């Protein structure tokens, strides 16, 4: 049987997505105990920082009766001595039953899958993809839109999520849509449905950068089309916010003293104006929701969290349930 890797949202069909959502719905029901990963060991190989993805994968494996080994910093591995990513992965695949990998390089998960003897799940590869984040985002979107109140009762009588819970929606991406891998993967998934995508991009653009950080930031401030932003907020069923992904900017961009780092230092001042805050809530529809893959910096103010349309914590929680469903299906 070929090893099943989860590397990109490209590889998922509508049917597979909704099967996974049915499992996620079931797993969310309180009181159930799972043993599907009994005796299984999952390698959590994180070469980049993570709070939610790593912890929710760890929680998911343990809640399914399995166990994890791995690391959260590459400094403790033999890669510090010059070992290749390939040899590191090949070695780990002798010890574990599946690998979850996060790496700062785009394509790293694919490289890992090429040498691994066990399934590899991409938990974020540079500015490439983050398929499990996109799945939990889409699940949250569909779940929040679905009005069948019975879906989450203990004796499950409700109907499963379908494309009707997604088709027709308008999703407004506000933030660093260029370098956010979560956005890339979610857009690909949304491509399977009949949705409308709106965008407001915030990022440093080297192609148009004049070298004068202050002037550039001023230019960005002036070109900030607040009116259009408000119109987008009013049309959106989902406002999906991301932070500026400065560590993903190409090599050397963000080194101390670089033009990009000077730009970012200035940018933080205009962030006082260009952000999503409580003042923006009034432009949104009553039924709309706010999502953010987190972590957040200045682009979304914590005061927004108390609005009932803000679903970021439910989104994070759904991440654990969805990853449980994914692991369960991988081992079934």
State which residue, 93 or 132, has the beta carbon closest to ligand NCD: 132
- Both structure tokens of 136: 């939990």
The answer to the question of residue 52 lying near ligand NCD (CB under 6 A) is: yes
- Shorter beta-carbon distance to ligand NCD: residue 47 or 146: 47
- Catalytic status, residue 53: yes
Q: Is 63 a catalytic residue?
A: no
Contact pick of 181, 246, 266, 311 for ligand NCD (by CB under 6 A) = 181
Rounded Cα gap, residues 175 and 171, in angstroms: 13
CA distances from 91 to 67, 72, 79, 87, 100 (A): 18, 17, 12, 6, 14
Question: Which residue, 98, 78, 102, 80, is CA-closest to 88?
Answer: 78
Stretch of residues binding ligand NCD (CB under 6 A), selected from 149-157, 222-230, 270-278, 293-301: 293-301
Q: Residue 243 catalytic?
A: no
Least distance in angstroms from the C-beta of 245 to ligand NCD:
6
Are the CB atoms for 92 and 43 separated by under 8 Å?
yes
Site membership for ligand NCD, residue 70 (CB under 6 A): no
Distance CA 55, CA 44 (A): 10
Instruction: Tell which one of 53, 116, 122, 315 touches ligand NCD (CB under 6 A).
Output: 53
**128 touching ligand NCD, by CB under 6 A:** no
Supply the minimum distance, in Å, between the C-beta of residue 157 and ligand NCD: 33
Q: State which H helix or E strand residue 219 sits in.
A: helix 213-223
Catalytic residue among 52, 106, 221, 262: 52
Binding mask 72-101 for ligand NCD (x = CB under 6 A): ------------------------------
Contact 135, 9 (CB under 8 A): yes
State the residue for tokens 């915030």. 202
> Both tokens of residue 36?
């599907």
Residue 261 CA to residue 204 CA, distance in Å, equals 10
Contact 275, 224 (CB under 8 A): no
Q: How far apart are CA 112 and CA 108, in angstroms?
A: 6
Options 179-187, 205-213, 220-228, 231-239: segment touching ligand NCD (CB under 6 A): 179-187
Could you say whether residue 290 binds ligand NCD (CB under 6 A)? no
Residues 6+ apart with CB under 8 A from 2: none
- The least CB distance from residue 156 to ligand NCD, in Å, is 28
Q: Which stretch binds ligand NCD (CB under 6 A): 189-197, 213-221, 271-279, 291-299?
A: 291-299
What are the phi and psi torsion angles at 197 (to 5°)?
A: -110, 130
Residue 248 makes contact with ligand NCD by CB under 6 A: no
Chain centroid, CA 158 distance in Å:
28
Question: What are the DSSP calls for 176-214, one per residue?
Answer: -TTT-HHHHHHHHHHTTS--EEEEEE----TTT--S-HH
Helix (H) or strand (E) holding 84: none
Specify the stretch interacting with ligand NCD by CB under 6 A; choose among 20-28, 88-96, 254-262, 287-295: 287-295
Range in contact with ligand NCD (rule: CB under 6 A) among 22-30, 216-224, 231-239, 241-249: 241-249
Among 126, 128, 131, 293, binds ligand NCD (CB under 6 A): 293
Kindly tell me which residue out of 243, 266, 275, 328 binds ligand NCD, with binding defined by CB under 6 A. 243
129-158 footprint of ligand NCD as x/- string (CB under 6 A): -x--x-------------------------
- Which residues make up the interface to ligand NCD (CB under 6 A)? 52-53, 124, 130, 133, 180-182, 242-243, 245, 293-295
> Catalytic positions, please?
52-53, 81, 102, 130
């Amino acid at each position: 049987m070929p090893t099943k890797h989860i590397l990109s949202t490209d590889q998922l069909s509508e049917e597979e997505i909704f099967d996974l959502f049915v499992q996620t719905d079931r797993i969310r029901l309180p009181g159930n105990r799972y043993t599907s990963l009994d005796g299984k060991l999952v390698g959590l190989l994180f070469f980049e920082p993570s709070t939610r993805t790593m912890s929710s994968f760890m929680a998911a494996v343990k809640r399914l009766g399995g166990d994890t080994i791995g690391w959260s910093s590459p400094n403790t591995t033999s890669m510090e001595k010059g070992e290749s990513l390939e040899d590191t992965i090949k070695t780990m695949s002798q010890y574990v039953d599946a690998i979850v990998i996060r790496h700062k390089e785009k394509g790293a998960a694919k490289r890992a899958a090429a040498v691994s003897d066990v399934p590899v799940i991409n938990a974020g590869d540079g500015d490439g993809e983050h398929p499990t984040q996109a799945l939990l985002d889409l699940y949250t979107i569909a779940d929040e839109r679905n009005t069948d109140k019975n879906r989450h009762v203990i004796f499950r009588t409700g109907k499963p999520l379908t494309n009707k819970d997604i088709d027709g929606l308008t999703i407004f991406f506000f933030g660093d849509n260029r370098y956010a891998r979560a956005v890339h993967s979610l857009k690909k998934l949304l491509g399977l449905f009949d949705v409308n995508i709106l965008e407001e991009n915030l990022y440093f653009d080297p192609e148009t950068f004049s070298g004068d950080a202050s002037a550039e930031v001023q230019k960005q401030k002036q070109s900030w089309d607040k009116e259009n932003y408000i119109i987008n907020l009013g049309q959106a069923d989902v406002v999906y916010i991301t932070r500026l992904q400065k560590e993903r900017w190409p090599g050397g961009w963000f080194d101390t003293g670089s033009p990009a780092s000077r730009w970012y230092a200035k940018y933080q001042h205009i962030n006082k104006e260009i952000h999503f805050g409580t003042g923006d809530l009034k432009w949104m529809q009553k039924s709309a929701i706010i999502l953010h893959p987190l972590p957040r910096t200045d682009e979304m103010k914590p005061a927004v969290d108390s609005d009932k349309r803000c679903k970021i914590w439910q989104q994070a929680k759904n991440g654990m349930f969805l990853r449980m469903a994914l692991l369960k299906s991988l081992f079934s």
